[in-house]
Amino acid sequence: MVVASHVSQTFIGNYKRTGRRLKGGREMSQIIVAQNIYGIVLAADNRAIQLDEKGEEIPLKVDRLIPIATHCGLLVTGAVEGTDMGRALKNFIEEERMTDVQDIYGASLAFLSTEYERFMRKKCELLPIDPIHQVSFILAGRTEKDREMPFRLYFLWTKKKLPRLDGDEISYAFSVPRRMGLEFQLNKMAKENAPLGEILKKVAEGMEHLKARGEVSSFLSYATITQEGFQSVSP
């Protein structure tokens, strides 16, 4: 399993090279995940920014937290078109009748890589590459293949070069953009197998703190994945 701190070194480097802040100083939308033996907590800021033909920003609200199977969900960060890719993946997974996250991970990496490459080729014909075109995903779900570790998190991102997507497994907690202080607390709670409700409360507190600082919007969504399945929740 790849620990989140190892994943972060390359991700932060790539992010800094492309520019962390979007035009106008806005940060990319926030997503946060954490897991332990009891399940997974997911959180997303559903704001988005799209460029019109003149290159001006258009604020939008989108669904960045997408259930794609009974025990599996997808978080999308970056370009608003990533949510279209997520919904297309949901349709594909339903058609293939996949339910186990380990099977869905392999299929998702191939499917989303193709969708992202198509998106980038189309965008490059109209506009130069911009940080607003970046997109990444976190896949979360349950597997029946490992009774000791039934819940899994995977980060799908442009690890090496555009437009190729690669995948890494997340150990306990992760956030995009990175919130290292919050991740440290969530990692500690997850390793100690704190009740999932307490982890959800900590994630919600982190989001509210960011909202008070103007770094996330009010369009927040939360969900859990447990043995019973994917469920939207209100902390």
Is residue 31 domain-resident? yes
Is residue 163 domain-resident? yes
Is residue 189 domain-resident? yes
Which has the closest alpha carbon to 2: 169, 141, 176, 191? Answer: 169
What is the per-residue pLDDT for 62? Answer: 93
What is the per-residue pLDDT for 2? Answer: 53
Residue 76 host element (H or E): strand 72-78
Is residue 230 domain-resident? no
Instruction: Give yes or no for a contact between 43 and 159, defined as CB atoms under 8 angstroms apart.
Output: no
Measure CA of the first residue to CA of the last residue in the chain; give whole Å. 29
What is the per-residue pLDDT for 134? Answer: 81
Helix (H/G/I), strand (E/B), else coil: 102: helix
Q: Output the pTM of the full model.
A: 0.87
Q: How many other C-beta atoms lie within 10 A of the C-beta of residue 38? A: 18
| Residue 80 DSSP label | T
What type of residue sits at position 69?
A: A
CATH code, 68: 3.60.20.10
Strand partners, 167: 156
Number of domains in the chain: 1
Is residue 118 domain-resident? yes
pLDDT in tens, 31-72: 999 999 999 999 999 998 777 777 788 888 999 999 999 999
Is residue 235 domain-resident? no
What is the per-residue pLDDT for 15? Answer: 43
What is the per-residue pLDDT for 163? Answer: 63
Q: How far apart are alpha carbons 43 and 230 in whole angstroms? A: 13
Is residue 234 domain-resident? no
pLDDT along the chain (235 residues), means of 10: 49 42 52 98 92 78 96 94 95 97 96 90 63 82 95 91 83 96 98 98 98 95 98 94
CA–chain centroid gap for 216, Å, is: 15
Per the structure, the complete domain to which residue 45 belongs is given by: 4-20+27-51+60-223
The per-residue DSSP string of 109-165 comes to HHHHHHHHHHHHHHHHTTS---GGG-EEEEEEEE-SS-SSS-EEEEEEE-SSSTT--
What is the per-residue pLDDT for 21? Answer: 41
